[in-house]
Amino acid sequence: MEIGDLVLRLARENPIWGYRRIHGELSRLGFRIGASTVWPILHRAGVDPAPTRSAISSRQFLRAQAKSVLAVDFFTVDTVLLKRLYVLFAVERSPPARSTCSG
């Protein structure tokens, strides 16, 4: 895999990363490349700057985070004995189970 392909793959898989973060990750992986080299690779490929690329819809965000989304509510309950209970209620939202049929 060429360095340009790797730069574009990192940009595609991590849309909030800018060219400096991509450079840092490549350096951490042992590639000797300058940040001033990463930017032209992205620019030539027509990849927008990170803030523009990271504009995802709430639906896309929830789909990506579906395994870790919690619904949380905080409320009070007044008892018959005139005591007030404070309740923090959390429900884990898991994606629908996928069934497989074997014939």
Q: How much is the average pLDDT of 83-99?
A: 80
d(CA 48, CA 54): 9
Structure confidence at residue 63 (pLDDT): 72
Structure confidence at residue 57 (pLDDT): 72
Q: Is the pLDDT of residue 6 over 80?
A: yes
The two structure tokens encoding residue 6: 């790797």
Mean per-residue pLDDT over the chain, rounded: 82
The two structure tokens encoding residue 63: 């789909």
Per-residue pLDDT of 43-63, as tens digits, reads 898 887 776 665 667 777 777
> Which residue spans within 1-102 are E strands per DSSP?
69-78, 84-93
